[in-house]
Copies of this chain bind each other. A is one copy, B any other.
Amino acid sequence: MRNNGFTEENQLSLLIWLRLVRVYENSNDLSNEFLKQFDLSVNQFDTLVQILIHQPVSQMEIAEHLTITKGGVSHMLGRLEKEELIERKQDWKVKYITLTEKGQTLIEKVLPLQSDFQASLFDPLTDEEKKVFYNMLKKIHRHSQDVNRLPRGVQ
């Protein structure tokens, strides 16, 4: 692989980024595969978890928790409603979302299994390393949110 526009000082950071992307994609694929036995995708699972934690909850609030648009939530809930996992109840102007009996039972069964799996990804790290890793991630996250608020031209 030739040096096509990569400067040396960037090299390590770019390797980190590529690796991080792979870890993310890999874990997501594994989770999707695992959840298939419950007829759920990762996104459906995440949505149900947010409803479990916050119910009764408006669609706008769900959108904020999941960082997707209200349109996306509307689509998603349409599918979950058709499978009778959630209910929408109009109260004044807002629709409040709750889990149905069926949805509650399902998510309470799946959540601990999926949590254990998600957590097991980090098994190769010691507890001490996990703390270090987490703190670094927090720094990176905070920094990326700052960038978010700055204009970024071609300098």
Is there an interface contact between B136 and A129, defined as CB atoms closer than 8 Å? yes
Chain A interface secondary structure, helix, strand, loop or mixed?
helix
Query: What 8 additional pairs, Cβ within 8 angstroms, besides A7-B116, A26-B148, A30-B147?
Result: A7-B112, A7-B115, A14-B115, A14-B118, A24-B24, A26-B144, A124-B140, A125-B140
Other-chain residue from B13, B25, B37, B113 in contact with A121 (beta carbon distance below 8 A): B13
How many angstroms between the C-alpha atoms of A140 and B121 in the bound complex?
7
Given contacts A4-B111, A5-B112, contact A144 B30 (CB under 8 A): yes
A 1-37 to B, binary, CB cutoff 8 A, 1 in contact else 0:
1101111011011111101111111110010011001
A52 nearest CB neighbor, chain B only: B4
How many angstroms between the C-alpha atoms of A113 and B24 in the bound complex?
24
A89 interface residue per 8 A CB criterion: no
Is there an interface contact between A13 and B118, defined as CB atoms closer than 8 Å? yes
A 124-147 to B, binary, CB cutoff 8 A, 1 in contact else 0:
110101111110111111111101
Is there an interface contact between A12 and B121, defined as CB atoms closer than 8 Å? no
Given contacts A4-B111, A37-B154, contact A127 B12 (CB under 8 A): yes
